[in-house]
A and B are shown apart, each in its own frame.
Chain A
Amino acid sequence: MIRFVLAAALSVLAILPARAAVEIQEVTTPGGFTAWLVEENSIPFAAIEIRFMGGASLDPEGKRGAVNLMMALLEEGSGDMDAQAFAEAREELATTIRFDSSDDDVSVSLRFLTENRDASVDLLTQALTEPSFDQDALDRVREQVLSGIRSNQTDPSAIARETFYRLAWGDHPYGSRSDGTTESVMSLTRDDMFDAHARTISKDRVFVGAVGNINADELAMVLDRILGELPETGAPQAPDGTYQAPVGITTVPFETPQSVALFGHEGIARDDPDFFTAFVVNEIFGSAGFESRLMQEIRVKRGLTYGIGAYLAPRDRGALILGQVATAGERMTETIEALRAEWARIAEEGVTEEELEAAKTYLTGAYPLRFDGNATIARIMVGMQMDGLPIDYIATRNDNVNAVTLEEARRVAARIYRPEDLHIVVVGAPEGLEPGN
């Protein structure tokens, strides 16, 4: 889902590891593809998650929204089937096929009953490799995308997000919404759809996770069928973004009772050696539960908001640390003061021994809770591969949590929270808020 890209990235991080009982095997197919598999035969179905790295950040200049629209069109006609015929075939099999896109990847989620495996795989293969991008389907789905863009223009949270990203990343694809603008989407043609398909969906950038009632040989056959006819390569990956948001506050006036603030600055990359410690520290600072410092100080003690959180948002081409809060316009100034104070306090003082121990207990204990269902585990495994984590990561993850020392936590807190760099976007009608610092 395009508008929740960051939330999705976050959940992958939060979910990363697993209980020791999850046995992942690496499957290499005769066609040369690699996949991670958890065979789980208690329920007669399987879930397969396929992702192609790159995604909407490969939109050509002036064609923002092409990849998003292209992925939405894959279920709208392929081979000899139109949208209706495709949907009917899928419904007859009770198979789920979902296509989605974000700035870092395009994804295919497949779920099928064991008895319908081959027919489901054939259906997906056709949609993925022989899309027709008919003009009438393109026009119909384009109107839906434009409707979504219109709705976002009067949604304070969407405005805040769009504003922050534009300030943070400028002309880089990360600086704009991946579903495009009204102008760019209006200009998209059938040729742009074939081009977007060729740029993003190819053999050289694919990652696969599979969970359920399917064994290694069966998975290998399925993957060679789905992926075997794809082109070898697509467009070169996008360059890294350059973070460029100024320090201070940007206010976007909008008449609504509750103002929304998005705050943060440049973050820490997923492959940075300090990332893991940063993740543990941010759990203490900004996690969504009641125990985080931000929730305690701003919700529990002061009653200023229903929810506040901060999260690490490392994307492939640039990282942010971001948070969000919403409060009545007349209380936004107080909220931002409290938030700034917490941001400065953790940078200066780090965390306490007690907080670190509580976070470790929580993170290690909550570990098995993440593995909640076949499709979820398949998504986790794809995320792990795309992040370059080893297949035995799961077995060592809790040890890594427990190995974080107070000294490291303090050093990394001082590194990743930089009150002097904080940029805050406020959408709404805040009272008494001075632009700038």
Chain B
Amino acid sequence: MSPRIAAFCALLTVAALPARAADVTSFTLDNGMDVVVLEDHRAPVVVHMVWYRVGSADEPRGKSGIAHFLEHLMFKGTENVSPGEFSEIVAANGGTDNAFTSYDYTGYFQRVAADRLGLMMEMEADRMINLVIAPEFVDSERNVVLEERNQRTDNDPGSLLTEQRNAAQFLHHPYGMPIIGWRHEIEGLTRDDAIAFYRQHYAPNNAILIVAGDVTPEEVRTLAETHYGPIPANPAIQPRDRVDEPPHLAERRIMFSDPRISQPMVLRTYLAAERDSGAQKEAAALTLLSEVLGGSGSTSVLPRKLQFESTNSIYATAFYSGTSLDDTTFGLVNVPAPGVSLEEAEADLDRVLKEFLEDGIDDAQLERIKTQLRASLIYAEDSISGLARTYGVALTSGLTVADIEAWPEILAATTEEDILAAASRLFDLDQAVTSYFMPEVAAEVSQ
């Protein structure tokens, strides 16, 4: 994506490209903790990550934001480590650490010199079972989270639109709630809520350990058995089984206006299939569809037709990420040029989609995309932390190591017919939310 249109980046999710490390080993500890090791011996560094198979979509109703609030409170002390000391120790060992929460996962990671791996495991294992959460830090940390929400969402109309759009997209499934939580519910979250969520979900048999870098599988196994091995499995952990969406019978439209918006745009998302273990073909077709429609800023269908063959748009693209536990979304964006209305921009999108389904896909374009996918496997080996993250997201989204390794071949085998068939199933307005993002509501025309 060109630097000059970076302003739109925040709205988009880059389509998942394949990734595979040269040396991947996986095994499971006796207590059910899964372990993945990605070897890269170029530098004496490791990334140590623990991913829990729990995210905001697993929260009890009325407690939105508790998965993320707990993630913050995981730094507020255990029976053995005082509040804040975790990061202090990591820093004192020349490392960096942080954590993240999404719909389907919560992850904790440290980057550190390879010879400090055992210490990281010792501390991460400690807070898997011994979390205390010093009560005096709860109120101030809730304020930190509220300011995080201010910064990420309330101060950014694009994020506010995403929140409204997801709420309209998912009629029933918890993906309709924001990861960080609704403000009024964050304000009411308590230490007890966090502890209850922790006890219910944080256990070795609900966790995946990923170690990437200058380390061997044997070393990781020995250290993991020492530090994580003694933690008993929690028998109450069950596979996640969330509510299903009911049939979507009506198109939804959002008119979002805010004085802080300078650049109007139209954005449409469709409910879309995700990658399922052993059944990734539909998601592969959708991944390639997003590449064909929007993967390149100049040669993809949307920019070519809307920015080059016409001058109606400043920017047009598509986005899709199939790595998700449950159904996800496929999106289209059109940013009209000055003087072009959002109604025209939407009509342009519909026209391009219609022509695309009629005309099919240019063979040379599909070949270029597949060439780039093959190359991305090579380039991906250069970023071991990126690879570790790819594995973590996939493994907490219901996929297996075998699924991850099969993915590039499934993409490569996807044909024009597969992509067009997936597109036909996808582009159903009853499954869609169309959003107008604009500076102010257009004045009503009086009759």
Chain A residues packing against B (C-beta within 8 Å): 1-3, 19, 21, 40, 42-45, 68, 72, 75, 83-84, 86-88, 91-94, 98, 100, 111, 113, 139-141, 143-145, 147-148, 150-156, 179, 255-258, 260, 289-291, 299-307, 326-328, 358, 361-369, 371-375
Q: How far is the CB of A166 from chain B (nearest CB, A)?
A: 19
What residues of chain A lie closer than 8 Å to B382, measured between beta carbons? 43, 45, 373-375
B3 interface contact, C-beta 8 A: yes
What residues of chain A lie closer than 8 Å to B25, measured between beta carbons? none
Q: Closest residue of chain A to B138, judged by CB? A: A303
What residues of chain A lie closer than 8 Å to B43, measured between beta carbons? 19, 21, 368, 371-372
In the assembled complex, 27 residue pairs joining A and B whose CB atoms fall closer than 8 Å, in A order, are: A2-B3, A45-B382, A72-B3, A75-B2, A83-B308, A87-B299, A91-B368, A94-B374, A94-B375, A94-B376, A100-B3, A143-B337, A143-B338, A144-B4, A144-B315, A152-B7, A179-B4, A258-B154, A260-B155, A289-B87, A306-B148, A326-B151, A361-B94, A362-B94, A369-B94, A372-B385, A373-B382
Shortest Cβ-Cβ A-B pairs, 9 listed: A365-B94, A303-B140, A94-B375, A303-B143, A258-B150, A306-B148, A150-B262, A87-B298, A91-B368
* A257 and B92 contact, CB distance less than 8 A: no
* A364 and B94 contact, CB distance less than 8 A: yes
What residues of chain B lie closer than 8 Å to A68, measured between beta carbons? 4
What residues of chain B lie closer than 8 Å to A156, measured between beta carbons? 155
What residues of chain B lie closer than 8 Å to A150, measured between beta carbons? 262-263
Q: How far is the CB of A394 from chain B (nearest CB, A)?
A: 13
What residues of chain B lie closer than 8 Å to A19, measured between beta carbons? 43-44
Q: Closest residue of chain B to A358, judged by CB? A: B92
Contact A148/B7 with A257-B154, A365-B93 known, Cβ cut-off 8 Å? yes
Q: Closest residue of chain B to A101, judged by CB? A: B3
B165 interface contact, C-beta 8 A: no
What residues of chain A lie closer than 8 Å to B140, measured between beta carbons? 300-303
Q: How far is the CB of A229 from chain B (nearest CB, A)?
A: 25
Q: Closest residue of chain B to A289, judged by CB? A: B91
B222 interface contact, C-beta 8 A: no
* A113 and B375 contact, CB distance less than 8 A: yes
* A328 and B96 contact, CB distance less than 8 A: no
Contact A303/B372 with A1-B3, A144-B315, A148-B5 known, Cβ cut-off 8 Å? no
Contact residue among B94, B95, B144, B299 (Cβ-Cβ distance under 8 Å from A305): B144
Contact A144/B113 with A83-B298, A154-B262, A306-B151 known, Cβ cut-off 8 Å? no
Give chain B interface residues in 138-168, CB to chain A under 8 Å.
139-148, 150-151, 154-155
Whole-angstrom CA separation of A111 from B382 in the bound complex? 12
Give chain B interface residues in 271-308, CB to chain A under 8 Å.
296-299, 304, 307-308
Of B94, B147, B314, B371, the most chain A CB neighbours within 10 A belong to B147
B79 interface contact, C-beta 8 A: no
Q: How far is the CB of A132 from chain B (nearest CB, A)?
A: 15
Chain B residues packing against A (C-beta within 8 Å): 2-7, 42-45, 75, 84, 87-88, 91-96, 111-113, 139-148, 150-151, 154-155, 259-263, 296-299, 304, 307-308, 311, 314-315, 335, 337-338, 364, 368-369, 371-372, 374-376, 378-379, 381-383, 385
Q: Closest residue of chain B to A290, judged by CB? A: B87
Of A3, A19, A42, A365, the most chain B CB neighbours within 10 A belong to A365
Whole-angstrom CA separation of A141 from B379 in the bound complex? 29
What residues of chain B lie closer than 8 Å to A153, measured between beta carbons? 262
What residues of chain A lie closer than 8 Å to B154, measured between beta carbons? 256-258
Of B43, B84, B112, the most chain A CB neighbours within 10 A belong to B43
Q: How far is the CB of B108 from chain A (nearest CB, A)?
A: 14
Of B96, B139, B368, B383, the most chain A CB neighbours within 10 A belong to B368
What residues of chain A lie closer than 8 Å to B297, measured between beta carbons? 87
Contact residue among A1, A45, A305 (Cβ-Cβ distance under 8 Å from B6): A1
What residues of chain A lie closer than 8 Å to B2, measured between beta carbons? 72, 75, 144
What residues of chain B lie closer than 8 Å to A155, measured between beta carbons? 260
* B147 and A147 contact, CB distance less than 8 A: no
